Amino acid sequence: MHAVDPTLAGGVAFGGCPPAAAHRGSARSSAERSGLECRVVKLSRAQAVALVALVALAAIVVVLAMRNPQPPVLPDDEYHASFNGPAACLECHGPDGAVPRSRNHPLGDECLRCHGMH
């Protein structure tokens, strides 16, 4: 078992490999004496591109997930305490109600599909 210099360009050493230099009076390196096997992993260009693309995709997913606001839950007040279905919501939140839904609100009248209750 031969230890590989972890400082080689283009590779990544794993396992906390000690330097591959042999000690005085010994032809074996400290890695060989301790039983550690040190390897340098070198990625091909295609693997490196795939790794960078995967990391970038993961970063994009995280950013989009953090930017996506979740719909609010029903307020815990006297108006919303007795939820009786979408018809009750639309009395206030319908087009002619006291607090109509915004233009950005998705179509549909299944309120609890998105808005949770306390």
Shared domain for 87 and 42, answered yes or no, is no
Q: How far apart are alpha carbons 84 and 78 in whole angstroms?
A: 13
| 52 is a domain residue | yes
Tell which of 50, 67, 84 closes a domain: 67
| 46 is a domain residue | yes
Shared domain for 103 and 80, answered yes or no, is yes
Shared domain for 96 and 112, answered yes or no, is yes
Shared domain for 51 and 75, answered yes or no, is no
Q: How far apart are alpha carbons 118 and 33 in whole angstroms?
A: 63
Tallying the residues shown for the chain, one arrives at: 118
3-state secondary structure of 93: helix
Give me the domain span that covers residue 59: 12-67
Decide: residue 29, CB within 10 A, 0-12 exposed, 13-18 middle, 19+ buried: buried
Buried b / exposed e over 64-89, threshold 16 CB at 10 Å, is: eeeeeeeeeebeeeeebeeeeeeeeb
Residue 59 has pLDDT above 70, yes or no: yes
Residue 53 has pLDDT above 90, yes or no: yes
The pTM of the full predicted model, rounded to 2 decimals, is 0.41
* pLDDT in the model for residue 34: 61
Mean predicted confidence (pLDDT) in 4-33? 53
Shared domain for 27 and 44, answered yes or no, is yes
Asked whether 81 and 88 are in contact (CB, 8 A), the reply is no
| 2 is a domain residue | no
Q: Which H/E stretch holds residue 13?
A: strand 12-13
Query: What residue has token string 């400082």?
Result: 7
Asked whether 38 and 17 are in contact (CB, 8 A), the reply is yes
Question: What is the rounded average pLDDT for all residues in the chain?
Answer: 77
